[in-house]
């Protein structure tokens, strides 16, 4: 299914499998959540591991504090977005993953062999977190 418009491009929805293929190499995405100061969007370096999106954050930092409510078994649902845009060709794709976010335990981390999530931001970022996808959607804009 797709839409065309007068500027020579078409927009089509991506299947869940195609979305996963596009984001599986890892890279940089954006995490969106309702933080203590309102809606917050932060770029993170991520990898896909064990069917989840995994990235690192600073223990005791703003995101870590917002995710530690102290309420047992509370699931905070967030959005995670990855895209690739070619402005010159007016083409690109965007994938949105929605689901709960959790801190990765030491036992879980031991099971994620070969995980190489290296944050670009300075400082120590040793707290691993994972997003368990509940909904994955995407769109592609292509020249006709």
Contact 77, 140 (CB under 8 A): no
| Residue 48: CATH number of its domain | 2.30.110.10
pTM score above 0.75: yes
Count: domains in the chain = 1
Residue-wise pLDDT for 51-78, tens only, equals 899 988 777 777 777 776 666 667 788 9
- Structure-block tokens of residue 83: 């895209």
pLDDT of residue 10: 86
Average pLDDT value over all residues in the chain: 83
Q: Which residue has the tokens 């036992």?
A: 107
Q: How far apart are CA 35 and CA 29, in angstroms?
A: 18
Residue-wise pLDDT for 84-106, tens only, equals 998 888 899 999 999 998 887 77
Q: How far apart are CA 85 and CA 135, in angstroms?
A: 22
Over range 113-118, report the average pLDDT: 66
Q: Which residue has the tokens 């879980």?
A: 108
16 is in which domain, residue-wise? 2-143
pLDDT of residue 144: 76
């Amino acid at each position: 299914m797709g839409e065309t418009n007068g500027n020579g491009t078409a927009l089509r929805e991506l299947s869940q499998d195609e979305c996963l293929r596009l984001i599986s190499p890892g890279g940089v995405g954006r995490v969106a959540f309702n933080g203590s100061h309102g809606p917050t969007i932060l770029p993170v370096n991520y990898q896909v591991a064990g069917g989840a999106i995994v990235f690192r954050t600073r223990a005791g930092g703003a995101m870590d504090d917002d995710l530690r409510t102290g309420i047992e078994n509370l699931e905070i649902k967030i959005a995670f977005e990855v895209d690739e845009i070619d402005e010159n060709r007016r083409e690109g794709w965007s994938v949105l993953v929605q689901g709960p976010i959790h801190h990765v335990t030491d036992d879980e981390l031991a099971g994620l062999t070969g995980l190489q999530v290296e944050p670009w931001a300075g400082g120590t970022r040793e707290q691993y977190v994972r997003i368990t996808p509940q909904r994955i959607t995407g769109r592609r804009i292509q020249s006709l």
